[in-house]
Structure 1
Amino acid sequence: MSPKLAAEFVLLAALWGASFLFMRQAAVAFGPLATAGLRVAVASVVLLPILIASGHWRALRDHAGRILFVGLLNAGIPFGLFAYAVLSISTGLTAILNATVPLFGALVAWAWLGERPGRWRALGLALGFLGVVLLSWNKASFTPGGTGWAVLACLAATTLYAIAASYTKRYLMGIPPMATATGSQFGATLGLLLPTWWSWPAQPAPWSAWAAVIAAGVLCTALAYLLYFRLIEAAGPAKTLTVTFLIPVFAIAYGALLLGEAITPWMVGCGAVILVGVALATGVIDPARLRLRYRPATRP
């Protein structure tokens, strides 16, 4: 990967890591549903002229139904779930749980597409889910004031991301990524239109909340999508997907520096277990390819 692509890779991780911070700031004023609705609406407005300029409008029109539907699975509902979660748990913890997307992706692909994981990838799945259980064990309280529902919301969002990935692979292969990216945001916007209206806050939101939701839409969604698809084209999907490992690092750093969130050794340790599991499950680490060469010791 060239230095320019490496810089774009780090920028993508930084943008997606910041999305949890912006969602927290916006959701306090707008609520989870309106935050998600505004985020995808802003991203749609930014991406539409780029789509038209790219000449891929016809591809979106020809496959509009499926692309709009996948937008609900891949943006609309997950964004609302994460916006709900960050009101109760730290942005760093939310980002770590978000890193389980490849684990659920592997399970959904196995169940739906018949892509059975090998021995090491199955071990990675088990290790990753063990990390999730350890991380969430003392937080899974469903009593008033507990954070159990927030943790479940994160895991439900990652499951929807995984379903959307398999749906895309089955029904949207060959469609220009720009059409899928823009159309999915429009689909999410349409799906969240009424919920956003119903849940609109009675009190005017402060300018800081507007700035946060616009930043989430422009930087963490529209610009991030453009970077993501550019990296896939230039560096390949395997390398691009490793951005998953950097996102929690940025999210934890933002939360600690800007929100005063605590970073506990337990959270870092469980996060490391999850990321190792993700690396094995996605094939980033493949012990089967390692070859240890035995060389008998020579006598002096």
Structure 2
Amino acid sequence: MNNQRQKWIYLSVLALVWGSSFILMKKALVGLTPIQVGALRILITSVLLGLIGFKSLKKIKKHHWKYVFASALLGTLFPSFLFAFAIQGIDSSIASILNSLTPFNTFLFGSLAFGFAFRKKQFIGILVGLLGTVILILKGADLNPNQNYWYALLPIISSVGYAFNVNIIKKYLQDLEPLAITTGNFVLIFFPALSVLVYTRFFSEFELTSETKPALLYISILAIFGTAIAKVMFNKLIHISSPVFSSSVTYLIPIVAVVWGFFDGEKLSLIQLLAGAIILLGVYLVNKAK
């Protein structure tokens, strides 16, 4: 299978998986705190990747580790907690929409800090996608006037972290296989996540109840599919495509997340569907062949 076809398959699968991760976080928060959701997501993923990808760590050279660490912090550790807190304050679909600022930030910081060159057509596509994002945000605020939109800052901060992560992997870790990068990420943040759970007395005070049992199931599904498997796929996508193409998955994620939110009782309007179509147009323009 050629890279052109493969990257579109990865993009579509990641959009479905990560688009579903927001509703899984929302369900997990019924029985767990945001701190527990973020830490358990990392802990479960770390154990799984440690079993699957431990041998791949041998391929990480000494000069790679600082970049793997930066990637772990900006692309996984901080966003895992920030999104958990965000979804506690705003609809899961709105959090996913704000995450679609990632391609714009990837373009911006890739040009300013990493020296990547982008075509004019890509910039136009990003602006079109942002237009759709703004419409979704404004309509979401209109439909949910009682929600605290200060929480909206958290996904925006995460999108900056994701943008740096994509550019770091593309520029400094291109010679490492995706499994090695992902496993290295989680090896480095395993103990911080474990420390958070110990410090908050999770292991001594947590009880299995009718709310916490399904919450643990949801966070386990999220960790296995939405983090472990998806992270490996995403790192592979970065290797076979451009940073902007890779991050454009965040333009497709809100469409999946909004549909899940609708079935879970979150409000969805015709204007939001139109905005989703505009976002898709932006993705097409960003990735249209020369």
**TM-score normalized with structure 2 length:** 0.80
Q: 1:137 to 1:14 in 2, by over 3 A?
A: closer
Deviation at 1:131, TM superposition (A): 3.5
In the other structure, the counterpart of 2:260 is 254
Q: 1:116 to 1:240 in 2, by over 3 A?
A: closer
In the other structure, the counterpart of 2:116 is 115
Deviation at 1:188, TM superposition (A): 3.2
In structure 1, distance between residues paired with 2:207 and 2:9 = 39
In the other structure, the counterpart of 1:298 is none
Ranges in structure 2 where 5+ consecutive residues have no aligned partner:
none
Deviation at 1:211, TM superposition (A): 0.7
Instruction: Note if contact 1:32-1:80 (Cα within 8 Å) is conserved in structure 2.
Output: yes
Matches within 5 A, 1:127-276: 127-137=128-138, 146-199=147-200, 204=207, 206-228=212-234, 236-237=240-241, 243-257=249-263, 259-276=264-281
Q: 1:7 to 1:276 in 2, by over 3 A?
A: closer
Q: 1:113 to 1:61 in 2, by over 3 A?
A: closer
Instruction: Note if contact 1:81-1:154 (Cα within 8 Å) is conserved in structure 2.
Output: yes
1:285 alignment partner, one of 268, 285, 288: 288
In structure 2, distance between residues paired with 1:119 and 1:65 = 33
Deviation at 1:157, TM superposition (A): 0.8
Tell me if 1:76 matches 2:85: no
AA aligned to 1:204 is E
In structure 2, distance between residues paired with 1:120 and 1:95 = 25
Deviation at 1:221, TM superposition (A): 1.1
In structure 1, distance between residues paired with 2:116 and 2:246 = 21
1:31 alignment partner, one of 30, 33, 39: 33
CA deviation digits over 1:201-242, x for unaligned, max 9?
A: 666361011111111111211122344456677xx4368766
Instruction: Note if contact 1:139-1:148 (Cα within 8 Å) is conserved in structure 2.
Output: no
Instruction: Note if contact 1:37-1:188 (Cα within 8 Å) is conserved in structure 2.
Output: no
Q: 1:200 to 1:132 in 2, by over 3 A?
A: farther
Instruction: Note if contact 1:127-1:274 (Cα within 8 Å) is conserved in structure 2.
Output: yes
Deviation at 1:49, TM superposition (A): 2.0
Instruction: Note if contact 1:71-1:186 (Cα within 8 Å) is conserved in structure 2.
Output: no
Instruction: Note if contact 1:96-1:271 (Cα within 8 Å) is conserved in structure 2.
Output: no
Instruction: Note if contact 1:21-1:254 (Cα within 8 Å) is conserved in structure 2.
Output: yes
Instruction: Note if contact 2:92-2:261 (Cα within 8 Å) is conserved in structure 1.
Output: yes
Moved more, 190-199 or 77-86: 190-199
Matches within 5 A, 1:79-90: 79-90=80-91
Q: 1:189 to 1:271 in 2, by over 3 A?
A: farther
Ranges in structure 1 where 5+ consecutive residues have no aligned partner:
290-300
SS at 2:31 equivalent: helix
Count of residue pairs brought into register by the alignment: 277
Q: 1:101 to 1:254 in 2, by over 3 A?
A: same
SS at 1:35 equivalent: helix
AA aligned to 1:156 is I
Structure number with larger C-alpha Rg: 1
SS at 1:113 equivalent: coil
CA deviation digits over 1:81-139, x for unaligned, max 9?
A: 11112122222222222233222111110111233443333323333334333333466
In structure 1, distance between residues paired with 2:151 and 2:188 = 25
